[in-house]
Amino acid sequence: MIPFFLDLKDFKVAVFGYGDVSKRRISKLIESSAKIDVYSLENVEISKDYTYKDITYKNCDINKLTNQELEALIKKYDIIITSIDKKNNERIVKISKNLKKMISSSTFESEINFIIPAYYKKDDICFSIYTGGKSPLVAREIRKLVQNYLNDNELEIEIQEKVRELLKNNGKNKKENQNGALCDTNIFKNQSDRKEILELAFNDENFKRKILNLITEYSKNKNK
């Protein structure tokens, strides 16, 4: 497996089961704007648990569904999350994989192809970690460390963002040379040059103060 980020807006997700594991998965999926259907024997009212319009609850006894019926149901969805008994998890994983669906299960982790890891999101920054099921507690503690770091370094992040914007936009408007030809005035075209400036902005306090002054001046001129 390799990690990647996926925009799940309007993806159809089926969640089998409504225990603690499923609820944690659902809470993460809600942030993705996916359309979620929850299949469970439990008589619960989803709307009372989540203020999210694209989630529905469907009373369903998976034990009473044949493999053919289960396959017809799974075909309707893009992503399958299952967290019920081991026997039915195995059925759902097997059918989902045969249908080339993204499947995540609370059991049979070696057989699944889709993981929802521990993660933390702040604005446009998202960090995730997965330990292969070996230590969810370690994943949680590492997530907390990153979360605290991002919260404690908001100014650093803002400076880096503004500096990158300045470097990328520098010289976007081409100027005429002595011969009347347009030439590129961007002196930071090379990625390694931009990286060096960004590292200075991160590590040098004097440089950081100068950059903040430049950012302030740049913002004033941009808004004129």
Q: Read off the pLDDT of residues 127-184 as tens digits, 9 standing for 90 and up.
A: 888 877 777 788 888 888 888 888 877 767 776 777 677 666 664 555 554 555 444 4
Does 137 lie in the same domain as 161?
Answer: no
Residue 48 contacts residue 108 (beta carbons within 8 Å): no
Single pTM value for the model: 0.67
Alpha carbon of residue 136 to chain centroid? 18
Q: Read off the pLDDT of residues 35-52 as tens digits, 9 standing for 90 and up.
A: 999 999 876 665 566 666
Burial tier of 77 (Cβ tally within 10 Å: 0-12, 13-18, 19+): buried
Does 123 lie in the same domain as 65?
Answer: no
Domain boundary among 116, 142, 166: 116
Domain boundary among 116, 144, 161: 116
Residue 106's closest CA among 115, 98, 97, 118? Answer: 115
The count of structural domains within the chain is: 3
Please report, for residues 180, 183, 184, the alpha-carbon distance to residue 176 in angstroms, rounded to integers and kept in the order given. 5, 6, 9
